[in-house]
A and B are shown apart, each in its own frame.
Chain A
């Protein structure tokens, strides 16, 4: 049995004070501590240990038992302690060392913080991580995104307690991201008013929905207030690395502000309604008739391109470069083989623009040349443009007044006392022709400028043909006019001379204008699809006076289903009647209408909450192409009629078409709306392609329309 190391009694065991700051250095070095120990300030006290007691001139050791009792040797004769100087350098106790280390750690941390933050502006050391690649260029410039970076520590403390900071910083984002519009910071980038409208519309819907539990619970913590502006960082969180996805949001996050919350696309998503047929297509195209009749029955086969019927939708529709939209094939490639001949309408003589009424020579006696002397005029009135041009002629108006109701078919049958008036009509026409052939376009401007600008600037111009007509029909018109103005009689011979010369001059200018010598009429016969004159004229007409369109005689001619040309000729289907296919849309805000000559322009989309891209869907081979989503309505006899109503309607007299200018109405074009279920067959939980952001965009603000 070895002796235990430590005695416990008070004489031989030291008084341990672990809370003290200093311990005897000799304890640590040699294991021989002095009982006194260091002072609280870390000084060795060994020198003050012993004060020998003086007793009658002799010194006696006065060391207490606690310190080992009186020493044998006793003090030196001079009263100093005999013990050698055994002072030491006290050491810090464990506790004190830990305290010191704590102090050092705190000091280092504080100074490090001050170095990093202390400058006038923050250093890059402060950056919590790399920004995404798109922002990498401005990464080094903290002030580009942070208002706090403009100042030092003081500024931050101030800013840290400021609620507006996030919005201010978002303002900095918008300095670059101008494409987000003026209301970018409001929810969905639409105005509060518009948002309220949408919300109200959704709230009035009464579909049963089951809000996911997570969202119900989350609503307890309170989603961001959508009435206020939201900072960009609500959704876009930067400094998470170069490759971080700034736009990632989960479905639940998307829905957190929404009035109507549901589990996922598969379960609870609102029905798609008439999507995507919430407006009619740009051209009136009866898919039903085409696909179920024309492309099926053999009788139409001969007119198909190369005699082959189109067998799938992509014969006409191909995705655009972005893959988003399906483009409709050009007229030439798709419609032309069947419809080009119709539009050319070879039997259609053309729209009369200028005609010489038949006036018997006896009326025109000594009134100069008048080529049209025999037969009867075919219409009761003069062509539209002629009437308009003569409207400004007071003499003509006078003559009409004298004649009362004028029927040009019966012009020769008037009473002889009215002959002068008829002659005056002839002279008016001649004057008009003369004016135009001498002054050209300016005459039109002068005569039509105020009332009917749509007839100005017809292209190709009518004027060369009119000049030609003047040369043929009234070769001596200048003289005649001169004499007539001088009230001098006109010699009759002059007319006969000129007759011989006319033969050499071509009657058809090849630009649509024809000059018919048989009935002394100048007509315009459309050249085919996209005829420039009609297009220009229609654009102008539609733009300003859509409502009055049906009263326009020219429009009546063009839109008359029974005639292609004048009333009495049996016309083919649609020559020149552009608006049979091309729809007219009225802008509800401006009231102006425009003709959709071209299919939907990609840049023209407005509020875009939803975006659908066709290309990826088409590449999914296993799905039955377009028909998988765009299924026909079950065939009904009145399908075509229903579709037609969306574009135009018969006037009550069943004579011509009234244009329906409301483009925004639902029109399914004979298809069934795309059903939600159809989408779900692919977009469901298993394929994990049903996130909100798959189809929807947060920034739904109106895009700037590209010129």
Chain B
């Protein structure tokens, strides 16, 4: 752990030094009346290619080109560094041209989705570990089904006719809960209100049940807990799996935009810098 902190300190220091060097280099370059946008643009383009090659590295896991974790560290580092270069490239202004604005938005989305993803991947594993059984995301429908089946059989067990306190309660309050992922926003916000509400309802129901039914209800509430935990796992695993859906596809469009931008700029840049 101490080692990790130490590493981070080195990374932060290196980052600060590098950003300073970039800013200083850019400033010096601007003094010589050179077009700093060309310099920063070149750096950006190369950086984007290097950053994108991280995806390639994942595919080429068989080759001995460094640990992926080292690559990721570098990816994050370089990604954050591009923001400095990007600001310099923008000259701290939002671009006016339509196409450049698109490129700007594209970069921002990719950058911020990356930062958010980075933070999420630091936070969410801990949350996932804190509650519910660790399951494979793709299997969650299967587990949900299993719980639902179990609940349905319990309901039937309580009253074979399908009528009675528990079946009615099930129809009224539980069916929708068990059918799919529920209370997603509440889980994200760490709210447990829905569970308190349900448990209150269950408590309220108990006076009307005989002892056998109460035992069944007890089992059902265990399943409720299980399902709720599963929902919790679902939503957080979904979040951590969904952010690359923004980050990765937009990287492709970013590359295409950036290459076109470079081409246009090289051809037209004699009047703007």
Question: Interface of A with B (CB < 8 Å)?
Answer: 2, 4-6, 14, 16, 18, 23, 27-33, 93-94, 97-98, 101-106, 108-110, 112-113, 116-117, 122, 125-130, 142, 145-146, 148-149, 155-157, 159-161, 165-166, 168-170, 214-215, 217-224, 231-241, 250, 252-253, 256-257
Q: Is the CB of B31 within 8 A of A214?
A: yes
Q: Is the CB of B32 within 8 A of A221?
A: yes
For the complex, what is the distance from the CA of A170 to the CA of B270, rounded to whole Å?
8
Looking at the assembled complex, report how far the CB atom of B264 sits from the nearest CB atom of chain A, in whole angstroms: 6
A-B pairs, top 9 by smallest CB distance, nearest first, are A31-B145, A129-B96, A160-B266, A109-B253, A156-B267, A169-B270, A237-B273, A31-B141, A148-B267
22 pairs of residues in contact across A and B, judged by CB atoms under 8 Å: A2-B222, A2-B226, A5-B147, A6-B133, A23-B138, A101-B249, A102-B251, A106-B249, A109-B253, A109-B257, A113-B260, A117-B260, A117-B264, A122-B264, A129-B97, A142-B268, A215-B31, A218-B31, A223-B33, A232-B270, A240-B93, A253-B31
Q: Is the CB of B252 within 8 A of A33?
A: no
Looking at the assembled complex, report how far the CB atom of A637 sits from the nearest CB atom of chain B, in whole angstroms: 53
Q: Is the CB of B272 within 8 A of A238?
A: yes
Instruction: Name which of B22-30, B166-174, B189-197 contacts chain A.
Output: B22-30
Report the nearest B residue to A101, measured CB to CB: B249
Q: Is the CB of B263 within 8 A of A169?
A: no
Q: Is the CB of B230 within 8 A of A5?
A: yes
Instruction: With A105-B252, A128-B96 as known contacts, state yes or no: A224 contacts B143, CB within 8 Å.
Output: no
For the complex, what is the distance from the CA of A110 to the CA of B145, rounded to whole Å?
43
Q: Is the CB of A98 within 8 A of B260?
A: no
Q: Is the CB of B28 within 8 A of A221?
A: yes
Question: Interface of B with A (CB < 8 Å)?
Answer: 25, 27-35, 93, 95-100, 102, 106, 133, 135-139, 141-148, 222-223, 225-226, 230, 241, 244-245, 248-257, 260, 263-264, 266-273
For the complex, what is the distance from the CA of A103 to the CA of B251, rounded to whole Å?
11
For the complex, what is the distance from the CA of A236 to the CA of B255, rounded to whole Å?
30
For the complex, what is the distance from the CA of A6 to the CA of B144, rounded to whole Å?
11
Query: B133 contacts which chain A residues (CB < 8 A)?
Result: 4-6
Q: Is the CB of A18 within 8 A of B29?
A: no
Q: Is the CB of B264 within 8 A of A241?
A: no
Query: B250 contacts which chain A residues (CB < 8 A)?
Result: 105
Q: Is the CB of A146 within 8 A of B29?
A: no
For the complex, what is the distance from the CA of A257 to the CA of B31, rounded to whole Å?
10
Complex partner residue of A27 from B93, B141, B272, CB under 8 angstroms: B141
Looking at the assembled complex, report how far the CB atom of A214 sits from the nearest CB atom of chain B, in whole angstroms: 6
Q: Is the CB of A32 within 8 A of B245?
A: no
Q: Is the CB of B28 within 8 A of A218?
A: yes
For the complex, what is the distance from the CA of A490 to the CA of B252, rounded to whole Å?
122
For the complex, what is the distance from the CA of A129 to the CA of B98, rounded to whole Å?
8
Looking at the assembled complex, report how far the CB atom of B106 sits from the nearest CB atom of chain A, in whole angstroms: 8
For the complex, what is the distance from the CA of A155 to the CA of B270, rounded to whole Å?
15
For the complex, what is the distance from the CA of A127 to the CA of B34, rounded to whole Å?
22
Q: Is the CB of B32 within 8 A of A222?
A: yes
Q: Is the CB of B253 within 8 A of A105?
A: yes
Looking at the assembled complex, report how far the CB atom of B194 sits from the nearest CB atom of chain A, in whole angstroms: 19
Query: A2 contacts which chain B residues (CB < 8 A)?
Result: 222-223, 225-226
Complex partner residue of B139 from A14, A97, A125, A239, CB under 8 angstroms: A14
Query: A146 contacts which chain B residues (CB < 8 A)?
Result: 267-268, 270-271
Report the nearest B residue to A234, measured CB to CB: B33
**Which of A31, A126, A168 counts the most B-chain CB atoms under 10 A from its CB?**
A31
For the complex, what is the distance from the CA of A161 to the CA of B265, rounded to whole Å?
11
Looking at the assembled complex, report how far the CB atom of B34 sits from the nearest CB atom of chain A, in whole angstroms: 7
Q: Is the CB of A159 within 8 A of B267?
A: yes
For the complex, what is the distance from the CA of A2 to the CA of B224, rounded to whole Å?
11
Report the nearest B residue to A93, measured CB to CB: B138
For the complex, what is the distance from the CA of A28 to the CA of B180, rounded to whole Å?
11
Query: B230 contacts which chain A residues (CB < 8 A)?
Result: 5
Report the nearest A residue to B148, measured CB to CB: A31
Complex partner residue of A5 from B33, B135, B251, B272, CB under 8 angstroms: B135
Report the nearest A residue to B251, measured CB to CB: A102
Query: A256 contacts which chain B residues (CB < 8 A)?
Result: 31-33
For the complex, what is the distance from the CA of A215 to the CA of B30, rounded to whole Å?
11
Q: Is the CB of B272 within 8 A of A31?
A: no
For the complex, what is the distance from the CA of A682 to the CA of B52, rounded to whole Å?
55
Query: B138 contacts which chain A residues (CB < 8 A)?
Result: 16, 18, 23, 27, 93-94
For the complex, what is the distance from the CA of A253 to the CA of B29, rounded to whole Å?
10
Looking at the assembled complex, report how far the CB atom of A243 sits from the nearest CB atom of chain B, in whole angstroms: 12
Query: A221 contacts which chain B residues (CB < 8 A)?
Result: 25, 28-29, 32, 34
Instruction: With A27-B141, A104-B249 as known contacts, state yes or no: A233 contacts B31, CB within 8 Å.
Output: no
Given A5-B226, A156-B267, 8 other A-B contacts at CB below 8 A? A5-B143, A6-B136, A27-B139, A127-B97, A127-B98, A149-B268, A221-B28, A237-B271
Query: B273 contacts which chain A residues (CB < 8 A)?
Result: 233, 237
For the complex, what is the distance from the CA of A13 to the CA of B124, rounded to whole Å?
26
Report the nearest A residue to B246, measured CB to CB: A101
Q: Is the CB of B271 within 8 A of A239?
A: yes
For the complex, what is the distance from the CA of A113 to the CA of B252, rounded to whole Å?
13
Q: Is the CB of A109 within 8 A of B97?
A: no
Q: Is the CB of B141 within 8 A of A224?
A: no
Instruction: With A128-B95, A129-B95, A159-B267 as known contacts, state yes or no: A30 contacts B145, CB within 8 Å.
Output: yes
Query: A231 contacts which chain B residues (CB < 8 A)?
Result: 270
Looking at the assembled complex, report how far the CB atom of A162 sits from the nearest CB atom of chain B, in whole angstroms: 9
For the complex, what is the distance from the CA of A29 to the CA of B180, rounded to whole Å?
10
Complex partner residue of B28 from A31, A148, A214, A224, CB under 8 angstroms: A214
Report the nearest A residue to B25, measured CB to CB: A221
Query: B142 contacts which chain A residues (CB < 8 A)?
Result: 14, 27, 31-33
For the complex, what is the distance from the CA of A532 to the CA of B113, rounded to whole Å?
87
Query: B136 contacts which chain A residues (CB < 8 A)?
Result: 6, 16
Q: Is the CB of B99 within 8 A of A125?
A: yes
For the complex, what is the distance from the CA of A126 to the CA of B256, rounded to whole Å?
15
Query: B256 contacts which chain A residues (CB < 8 A)?
Result: 106, 109-110, 113
Looking at the assembled complex, report how far the CB atom of B25 sits from the nearest CB atom of chain A, in whole angstroms: 8
Q: Is the CB of A218 within 8 A of B252?
A: no
Report the nearest A residue to B225, measured CB to CB: A2
For the complex, what is the distance from the CA of A236 to the CA of B30, rounded to whole Å?
13
Instruction: With A105-B249, A108-B253 as known contacts, state yes or no: A116 contacts B143, CB within 8 Å.
Output: no
Query: B30 contacts which chain A residues (CB < 8 A)?
Result: 253
Instruction: With A6-B143, A28-B141, A93-B138 as known contacts, state yes or no: A252 contacts B271, CB within 8 Å.
Output: no
Query: A257 contacts which chain B residues (CB < 8 A)?
Result: 33
Query: A4 contacts which chain B residues (CB < 8 A)?
Result: 133
For the complex, what is the distance from the CA of A86 to the CA of B55, rounded to whole Å?
37
Query: B29 contacts which chain A residues (CB < 8 A)?
Result: 218, 221
Q: Is the CB of B33 within 8 A of A101?
A: no
Report the nearest B residue to A142, measured CB to CB: B268
Q: Is the CB of B146 within 8 A of A165?
A: no
For the complex, what is the distance from the CA of A129 to the CA of B103, rounded to whole Å?
14
Q: Is the CB of A250 within 8 A of B272?
A: no
Query: B95 contacts which chain A residues (CB < 8 A)?
Result: 128-129
